[in-house]
Amino acid sequence: MKVKQIFLAAIILMVFAVTGVMTVAYVYNNTHEQILENERLALLSSINELIPSDQYDNDIFHDIITVEGHDLLGSDNPIPVYRARKNGWPLAVVIPVIAPDGYNGRIKLLVAIKLDGSLAGVRVVSHRETPGLGDGIETSRSDWILNFANKSLLNPDEKRWKVKRDNGDFDQFSGATVTPRAIVKSVFNALLYFRINDQKLFATTAEAEQIP
C-alpha cells in the first residue's frame, strides 16, 4: 500500500515536471531568436561605441577570427575576435573577455585594442555585480570605464595596472573594490594576449589557416 502511494505521488510530481519543462521549452523556442538578435544588436552598438562606425568600412560583425580559449582571456571556450579594417588595412580588434573574479561571478567585457597596442576602450557587456555598488562599471552609471581609452602596457607602467588600493593607477568605487580590481586585471591580461598574438589576430581567414 505504501509503495503504491509513493509511486502515485512520484507520477503526479512527474506530470507537473513534464508540463513545466514543456512550458519553459515552448517559451524558450519562441523567444530564443529574439534574444540572440537583442544580444547581436547590443554587441554591435557596444562595438560602435568603442570604434565609431565611420572609422572602419568592413562588415565587423562577420569579420571574425575564432581563437582558442586562453587563461588571459578568462575562458576555455573558443572566442570570436572582431576585426575593424579601413580600406583593407587592419585598424583594431574587439575581443570579448571574461573577468572571472567579479564580486558576483563573471563579468563579460569587450576590449577594443588598436593596432599599436593601445586601448580604443572597454565596455561591460553583462555582469551581476551589486546594484548601486559594483554597477559603476556601466557607462550609464559612471564614467569609470571610459578611463581605459588610450591606455596601454606602457601607459601606465605594467606594475601600475592595479586599483589604487593595491598601489596602482586605477580608481576603485566607494564600497566596491573587487569589481574594478577584476576588470583592471582582465583588461591587462587582454593587452598581454594582444602583445603575444597581434599578428595572428589580424590575419585574414586564408592567412590564418597557414598559421599553425
Partner 1 sequence: MSDYATIIKDGLWTNNTGLVQLLGLCPLLAVTNTFINGLGLGLATLATLVLSGGIVSLIRHQLRDEIRIPIFVLIIASVVTAIELTMNAWFHDLYKILGIFIPLIVTNCCIIGRAEAFACKQPVGKAVVDGLSMGIGFTLVLVILGGMREIIGKGTLFSQANLMFGEKASALTITFSEDYPGFLLAVLPPGAFIGLGLLIACKNIIDRRALARNKAVSVAMPLAESS
Interface ranges with partner 1 (CB under 8 A): 8-9, 12-13, 16-17, 19-21, 23-24, 27-28, 31, 34-35, 38-39, 42, 104, 126-128, 130-133, 140, 174-175
Instruction: Rank residues 173 and 188 by Cβ distance to partner 1 and give the closer one.
Output: 173
Query: Minimum Å distance from CB 127 to partner 1?
Result: 8
Rounded to whole angstroms, the Cα distance separating 30 from 36 reads 12
SS3 (DSSP) at 166: helix
Place of cell 582582465: 186
Query: Minimum Å distance from CB 42 to partner 1?
Result: 7
64-77 residues labelled b (16+ CB within 10 A) or e (exposed): ebebeebebbbbee
Instruction: Rank residues 80 and 132 by Cβ distance to partner 1 and give the closer one.
Output: 132
> Which DSSP letter does residue 135 get?
G
Rounded to whole angstroms, the Cα distance separating 169 from 109 reads 20
Instruction: Rank residues 70 and 108 by Cβ distance to partner 1 and give the closer one.
Output: 108
Instruction: Rank residues 31 and 204 by Cβ distance to partner 1 and give the closer one.
Output: 31
Query: Minimum Å distance from CB 180 to partner 1?
Result: 17
Among candidate residues 26, 59, 70, the one with its CA nearest the CA of residue 194: 70
Instruction: Rank residues 13 and 196 by Cβ distance to partner 1 and give the closer one.
Output: 13
Query: Minimum Å distance from CB 195 to partner 1?
Result: 32
Query: Minimum Å distance from CB 27 to partner 1?
Result: 4
Rounded to whole angstroms, the Cα distance separating 44 from 82 reads 10
Rounded to whole angstroms, the Cα distance separating 17 from 185 reads 43
Instruction: Rank residues 117 and 132 by Cβ distance to partner 1 and give the closer one.
Output: 132
Query: Minimum Å distance from CB 179 to partner 1?
Result: 13
Strand runs (DSSP E) across 77-199, as ranges? Answer: 79-86, 89-102, 105-114, 119-126
- Counting every residue written for the chain, the total comes to 212
